[in-house]
Amino acid sequence: MADQLTLIGADYSVYTRIARSALNLKGLAYRFETLDIFAADGPARARQAGHPFARIPVLRHGLHTIYETLAITRYIDEAFDGPPLCPASPIDRARMNQIISIIDTQAYPVLVWGLHVPHSKGNTPDPAMLERGRLVLAELERMAQKPWLCGGEASLADLYLAPCYDYARDSAIAPEIDENYPRLKAWRDRAATVAPAH
Ligand SMILES: N[C@@H](CCC(=O)N[C@@H](CS)C(=O)NCC(=O)O)C(=O)O
């Protein structure tokens, strides 16, 4: 079909999960093409798929190719009917953008690469990284509104945080998460409806 949606990425990928959740929340049918970016041929395949910096995900819609998850998810939100993925009020939108930036610049590098990845290889955590993880989680706990991170409706902020939070729960910081960040814990249980837990 000329205007078919295809998402190219991997199940384990934080950013692919975010894009998938956006497609699902909008109720859109799409084809999923697996691309393991860490396989030997992954970077070459990603470039071939249209990502000049060899990352996933990539979205194809008809003749359009889009990369960068924020561009992908905003496109999904604006090009299709379905529940809006961005809050209506300017201040809630600002909070959403703030959370997305915190995830791109802090939560993803610290919780996923700094804590989860070493843990998955059996390595002891760097104490400085644990401290940075606590700072990130504490700030997200402070910002979290109810029932969703940015108010009354689920938004891109929820979709962005869910996969990083799941990886944090599989890291050296996991034992302290439930007790120290109770609003995030309650939010993650609720958010299973829009971003399935992995
Ligand atoms: N800024 C990019 C980040 C995408 C990204 O880093 N994806 C990871 C997988 S979750 C990746 O492709 N990593 C490959 C690598 O770092 O070489 C986005 O928002 O899409």
- pLDDT tens for 125-152 read 999 999 999 999 999 999 999 999 999 9
Q: Computed from CA positions of residues 93, 9, 33, 66, in that sequence, does the dihedral angle turn out positive or negative?
A: positive
Cα separation, 134 vs 115, whole angstroms: 11
Q: How far is CA 153 from CA 28, 78, 167, in A?
A: 19, 17, 24
Please, what sign has the CA dihedral across residues 25, 163, 146, 98?
A: negative
Supply the pLDDT for residue 180. Answer: 98
User: What residue spans define the domains of the chain?
Assistant: 5-79, 90-191
Give tens-digit pLDDT for 59-104.
999 999 999 999 999 999 999 999 999 999 999 999 999 999 999 9
**194 alpha carbon – ligand 1 mean position (Å):** 22
- Is the beta carbon of 56 within 6 A of some atom in ligand 1? yes
* 116 CB within 6 A, ligand 1: no
Q: List the CATH code of the domain at 5-79.
A: 3.40.30.10
Q: Is 159 in the pocket of ligand 1 (CB under 6 A)?
A: no
For domain 90-191, which architecture applies?
A: Up-down Bundle (1.20)
> Does residue 141 have its Cβ closer than 6 Å to ligand 1?
no
Pairing of strands 58-61, 5-9: antiparallel
- Atom 6, ligand 1: residue with shortest CA distance: 55
